Structure formats: structure tokens, C-alpha cells
Structure 1
Amino acid sequence: MPLVRISLRRGKSAQHIAAIRNGIYRAMTESFNVPQNDRFILVHQHDAEEFDYDPNYLDISRTDNLVIIQVACNNTRTVAQKQAFYQRTAELLSKDPGLRPEDVLINLLETGKENWSFGNGVAQYV
């Protein structure tokens, strides 16, 4: 169960935000072997003074349209799967809602399967 947190500057339309959520979920199902309906996505919108980033870190030119995507997931994916996920996410988000690939920052937080409870106080993966 990936748990996705999306952070971006406040002021985007509901359609823009939906396109980001849908693109990330699609990339996860296509390249991360995430099953259908395994969808848990939170969106955090920030005012300008709450959204601090370096516009040129690693010589990548970022704008205020930067979207920071953090995915908590099981530690079971290969490096190739992770790279495919990064690439596919940037590709899908550049198509809809039209983000520049430079403005898509992704961070994975990997954890053991025993660290998840989907409800009822049970660790379903153990």
C-alpha cells in the first residue's frame, strides 16, 4: 500500500489536483505493481511562505509549479521499478495537467511490510 503525499503551492484548480493524483496512481499501477483500488493519496496545499525549495538544486530549473511527491511504500521494489516509476510519473504529469518534468520531485520512504495496518488494528501483511 503506497501512501502518497503531494505538496504544492495553493491555488491550483480541482481539475489540476485530480490530474496529479490520477497520474501518480496510474504510474504506480503501471510500474510499481500496485493493485487496483490500492489508492491512498493526500494533497497538501501551501501558501508561498510555507513552500520553500531551491529553484536550481542539482542544476534542475524549478518553478513555483513544483510538486513534491512523497510515497511511503513497502521495501520490495527494485531500482529498475523505482526508476520506471519516476520516469512514468514525470511523463504522465507533463501530459496532464501540463507540469514540466523539472517540477516533479519524488521521494520514496520504504518500510517493512509489518509497519502497515489497513484498519481493525491488524497488520494485514504480517
Structure 2
Amino acid sequence: MPLTHISLRAGKPEAYRQAIFDSLYRALHETFNVPEDNEFMTLREHDAADFRYGASYLGVARSDDVVFIQITVNNTRTVEQKKALFRRIAELLRDRPGIRPEDVFVNLVEVAKENWSLGNGLAQYA
């Protein structure tokens, strides 16, 4: 049950933003076995004055096209699955909508399964 938040600088067309959603869902489906119709994502655009990043932190040459992706997931995945997810996200976003791998910044937030309520005030996974 991933919950994904995406942040980027304002100004990209709708097709670009939709391609980000599509590519992220595909990567999650392929590497984390996320089922069909399990898409919960938001995308927020920021003016240049409200968006800051380290242009060369850890030797990665980022541009103004950097995209921050934060994914909250159950704490049930292996390190190998996480590495596969990071790789696949970078590959798919490179292919569509054309984001350089250097500009793909991903952060996983892991939570226990009982920390979700997917509606109706229930803890569906508890």
C-alpha cells in the first residue's frame, strides 16, 4: 500500500506529470508487487523560490529538473527489492517523461502495516 508524494519545479505540462505517475506505478508494480488499482499519489509543483536542492551533493550533478519522490510503504521489503525499485524508477522516468537519472531523488518511509487506514475508519492491514 504505497502512498507517493512527488515534488518538482512548476512549469511542466500535464503529459509530463502524468508520465511520472504512470512510471512510478509501473516501477512499484514490477518491483514491490503492488496490485492493480493500488494507486495513491500526489504531485506538487513549486515555484523556483520555494524549491531548493543540493546541486552536487554526494557527487550527483542535479539540475533544475530534479524530482523528489517520497514513498511511504509497509516495512516488509528486502534491501534487494528497494535497490530494484530505485533502479527501475530511474530507468522508467528516463524513458518517460525523459528525466535524467541524476535528477531522480527517492526516499522510502517504512511503516508497520497497522499504521494504515484506507477508509471507513478501519485498520485494514492490522
TM class by shorter chain equals over 0.9
User: Structure 1 CA distance, aligned partners of 2:51 and 2:32?
Assistant: 28
Which residue of the partner structure matches residue 93 of structure 1? 93
Paired AA for residue 35 in structure 1: P
- CA distance in 1 between counterparts of 2:33 and 2:114 reads 19
Partner residue of 2:104?
A: 104
Question: Is there any run of 5+ residues in structure 1 with no aligned partner, and where?
Answer: none
CA deviation map 1:22-66 (0-9, x unaligned): 000000000011111110000010000110101000000000000
Output aligned runs, 1:1-126, within 5 Å. Answer: 1-126=1-126
Matched residue type, 2:117? S
| CA–CA separation in structure 1 for the residues paired with 2:57 and 2:98 | 22
Q: Give distance in 1, aligned partners of 2:7 and 2:77.
A: 23
d(CA) in 1 for partners of 2:105, 2:54: 12
Q: TM-score, normalised by structure 1?
A: 0.99
TM-align CA RMSD: 0.4
| Distance in 2 of aligned mates of 1:59 and 1:29 | 30
Aligned-residue sequence identity (percent) comes to: 53
Task: Give the letter aligned to residue 46 of structure 2.
Answer: H
* 3-state SS of paired residue (2:45): strand
**TM-aligned CA deviation for residue 76 of structure 1:** 0.3
Aligned partner of 2:3: which letter? L
Alignment coverage as a number of residue pairs = 126
